[in-house]
Structure 1
Amino acid sequence: MKLALAEAIVPLVGRLHRDRGVTATVHGRSLVGKSVVGIVKAHRFARRVDDAELPLERTLSLLHLLCGLDLRPAVVDVARLGARGAGATLEERVRADLAPVLGLRGQRPCGQRDVVLYGFGRIGRLVARILLEHGDHPHGLRLRAVVVRHGGAGDLVKRASLLRRDSVHGKFPGTITVDEERETITANGVVVQVLRSDDPGAVDYAAHGIREALVVDSTGKWRDAAGLARHLRSPGAGRVLLTAPGKGTVKNVVHGLNEDVLEDRDRIASAASCTTNAISPVLKVLDDRFGVVHGHVETVHSFTNDQNLIDNFHSGDRRGRSAVLNMVITETGAARAVGKAVPQLAGKLTGNAIRVPTPDVSLAILHLQLSREVTGEEVNAFLRGVSLSSPLQDQVDYVDSPEVVSSDFVGTRTTGVVDGRATIADGRHLVVYVWYDNERGYSEQVVRVAEVMQGVRRPVLPPLAPLVLDVRRPDAAAPAGAPAGAPAVGVPVSGG
């Protein structure tokens, strides 16, 4: 029965996503592109929030209702949709929840917005995968071109092969074809032009029909405003997003925390680093709730391709030694960078990193001195609540298992996963472990920032209650409007 209901749900989810730009989710977990079994598992996940599975029958009824409404693009959480409001029919409650986007189908703020990837390495290809997974989506970002250096005869096929197969993340979820004559890669029906250049200011995007494109620079070669502004000399380029920490006046954005610093006039921004994205949301909520006096962040980070496979010269300290044979102590600016996304933590954190012989998934260990005493149970209940029922559920996840290891987090789409079993609390001293896929999780954040910069970020409905966090109040973790003493972020503290 469950599989039959899920089979009926799949085409409705696809129709809403394709025709209306409406993405159906269950407590933040997207249903788009999910298999029948994946649909069932997503509904089972609801037990972590509501202590009960979400009935598939209810979702099916809601999706039929949504298909009959005049909606503007949005992310609609069917687990929360129509759940509130006594004395009203389900349709009336749904209409009330969706009022901000109801009756506005003809007023779409944008259609497709062009994106160009400058560089096609680890992050560039993963951003491409995210943009291409569901084909030529009519409402949002559209990948139009990739810019690479000349690689010799047959390099287009090789680059397409790297997109198709990945030793860490597996096969591309879809179809890929190559046209060497036109120099295009077609993935899930989306035609992507491959352009060649060593100079970011010498690419004529407009000649390929590309307009006001966001250029995502994943090369890391230019990090300040002057260097990144070279992209804006190219016809058809409108904005630039760097996938590395920006320098000087470049705004470093961690989506979920400070994307509001972006203004319409901003043409250049940075998505900060993978580690900064992983730890900043967790540190922010811990500081808001318990008060962080000072702390140290130790990062156990997978090796990256700037290290050597075997011992050889490297301009960086220790990085010349074999990445696959050694643990390598190296510097990281992530702890200092947290202060840019979370200003109240500026100057309170130190940091270091150890590169280890794994290709992906890293671990940040947060050693914190708090302003008051806490227990591990209190901290875990709070962080679990943040992951399930707060506006940071795209960034913070939580796991409670004695058996998880790093490979279990490959492909994680949140930026950090708190390992509850590893939490240590001793009075005012707290240690929190945060796993993160430093490739996929970070790439998801890059796309979220890209959506903001291109004006296609969709509202999430029904809206999640904002976190009201004040270390000075005993009921600090209650959601807005909740009575004193309510559970952290309004969620049950039992279960896993």
Structure 2
Amino acid sequence: MKHPLRLAINGYGRIGRCVLRALQESALKDSFEVVAINEPADLATMAYLTQFDSTHGIFPGRVEQAGEDLMVNGRRIRVSHSRRPDGVDWAGLGVDMLLECSGQYGSREQLQVFLEAGCPRVLVSHPGGSAADVDYTVVYGINERGLTGSERIVSNASCTTNAIVPVLAELDGAFGVAHAFLTTLHSVMNDQPMIDGYHHSDLRRTRSAMQSIIPVATGLAQGVERLLPRLSGKVQAKAIRVPILNVSAIDLMVKLERDVAADEINALMMDATHRYPGLVSYSFHPHASVDFNHDAHSAIVDGSQTRTNGDGFANLFVWFDNEWGFANRMLDVAKAWSDRIG
């Protein structure tokens, strides 16, 4: 019997805690064992925020402190508090794979430090700054079969890329995508202040997250083109932060290579739920964003919002839980990668 893969989490914020929690609810829970967490915060706060979460509710199990470590459902997780990648003896912990969830390390040079410190492989919870910064970028359901097992640094892309790439791939395969414009309506993130303050070099992000709709920069277009190179030069994107805690959406405008009726697009998206089981969902109900809190799908196409306007123009609306769906994809990619490792 194959032993569970020994995982470590670096950065125990929103995504790090969601990954640990998702593992408890996942069918993959017997495939992994979280053996270490590195997080600068103190242990008491880590335990408290693991047990009680304003977005996803009370932890489905036991969370306790055990000396300087965390006990989750009776399993001890070694806890360290280093602010440097090389400040932890990863090799001594017997880690098979590190999930880098801090968002602090994006370049090849920065991520390489984890390898030099004893991590055999690193799965990053955001896109690399460029394709060269990682060995491979995965959107699960699209290209995970391209993993060979020889990679050392893999990116899980972004929550928005995971949401929109399967939808664009389906549209392009069925109708041809001439151009696409993506507007992400994203819930607030921790790089924004609750009240106006000196939090960011982007002046818009110095403004109160809960009082305004705030445009921010996004690399989504480049992320899409990295996964779907046939759309290179055809994709533009912008992002707007909206004052809710969780669940986001993408308003997708496309120019298709032929005229298509809204019913044709919706039929394609319904069929896609069978091609991407557990990843793409479809609904025609009159939804609000809260309906998708704690939804593990990468994308939920809202068929009630599909529109067409002649000359190949179409508009789709895609919901996604930017925390929970993405955390579950990290586990899916970790499993797909581990299966390729000799």
Question: TM-score normalized by structure 1?
Answer: 0.65
Out of 210, 213, 217, the residue aligned to residue 100 of structure 2 is 217
Distance 2:145 2:271 in 1: 24
SS of the aligned residue for 2:263 comes to helix
Question: What is the correspondence of 1:141-156 to structure 2 with a 5 Å cutoff?
Answer: 141-149=32-40, 151=41, 155-156=42-43
**TM-fit CA distance, 1:335:** 2.0
Structure 1 gaps of 5+ residues are 1-107, 458-496
Amino acid at match of 1:292: V
Question: What is the correspondence of 1:468-483 to structure 2 with a 5 Å cutoff?
Answer: none
Structure 2 gaps of 5+ residues are none
CA contact (8 A) 1:140 1:456 kept: no
**TM-fit CA distance, 1:264:** 2.1
Amino acid at match of 2:253: H
CA contact (8 A) 1:146 1:195 kept: yes
For 1:398, the equivalent position in structure 2 comes to: 282
**TM-fit CA distance, 1:312:** 1.4
- Larger relative CO (CA 8 A, sep 6+): 1 or 2? 2
Out of 421, 429, 436, the residue aligned to residue 304 of structure 2 is 421
**TM-fit CA distance, 1:190:** 2.2
Deviations 1:297-325 (A, max 9, x none): 01111110001111112211311111100
SS of the aligned residue for 2:211 comes to coil
Amino acid at match of 1:146: I
**TM-fit CA distance, 1:344:** 1.3
**TM-fit CA distance, 1:136:** 10
**TM-fit CA distance, 1:432:** 0.4
**TM-fit CA distance, 1:177:** 1.6
Out of 162, 175, 178, the residue aligned to residue 65 of structure 2 is 178
CA contact (8 A) 1:308 1:321 kept: yes
- Give yes or no for the alignment of 1:364 onto 2:250: yes
Aligned length: 336
**TM-fit CA distance, 1:156:** 1.1
Distance 1:316 1:267 in 2: 33
Amino acid at match of 1:426: N
Amino acid at match of 1:308: P
Out of 162, 173, 190, the residue aligned to residue 49 of structure 2 is 162
Out of 278, 282, 290, the residue aligned to residue 407 of structure 1 is 290
SS of the aligned residue for 2:50 comes to helix
Distance 2:234 2:203 in 1: 26
Out of 281, 285, 290, the residue aligned to residue 175 of structure 2 is 290
CA contact (8 A) 1:411 1:437 kept: yes
**TM-fit CA distance, 1:247:** 2.1
Distance 1:351 1:375 in 2: 24
Out of 234, 247, 264, the residue aligned to residue 117 of structure 2 is 234
Out of 81, 85, 90, the residue aligned to residue 200 of structure 1 is 85
Quote the RMSD (CA, aligned, Å): 1.7
User: Which segments of structure 1 move beyond 6 Å, counting only runs of 4 or more?
Assistant: none
SS of the aligned residue for 1:289 comes to helix
SS of the aligned residue for 1:382 comes to helix
- Give yes or no for the alignment of 1:320 onto 2:202: no
**TM-fit CA distance, 1:295:** 1.3
CA contact (8 A) 1:133 1:188 kept: no
Distance 1:366 1:315 in 2: 29
CA contact (8 A) 2:185 2:249 kept: yes
SS of the aligned residue for 1:319 comes to helix
Distance 2:46 2:36 in 1: 13
Distance 1:412 1:323 in 2: 23
Gap change, CA 1:339 and 1:135, over 3 Å in 2: closer
Gap change, CA 1:134 and 1:174, over 3 Å in 2: farther
Distance 2:217 2:137 in 1: 19
SS of the aligned residue for 1:454 comes to helix
Out of 135, 145, 151, the residue aligned to residue 266 of structure 1 is 151
- Give yes or no for the alignment of 1:140 onto 2:31: yes
Question: What is the correspondence of 1:51-66 to structure 2 with a 5 Å cutoff?
Answer: none
CA contact (8 A) 2:149 2:340 kept: no
CA contact (8 A) 1:362 1:435 kept: yes
CA contact (8 A) 1:336 1:347 kept: no
**TM-fit CA distance, 1:263:** 2.4
Distance 1:375 1:342 in 2: 24
**TM-fit CA distance, 1:206:** 3.6
Identity %: 36
For 2:129, the equivalent position in structure 1 comes to: 247
Distance 2:8 2:144 in 1: 21
Distance 2:189 2:26 in 1: 29
Amino acid at match of 1:188: N
Out of 324, 330, 333, the residue aligned to residue 440 of structure 1 is 324
CA contact (8 A) 2:170 2:268 kept: no
Distance 1:456 1:185 in 2: 30
Distance 1:204 1:351 in 2: 41
Distance 1:136 1:294 in 2: 38
- Give yes or no for the alignment of 1:300 onto 2:182: no
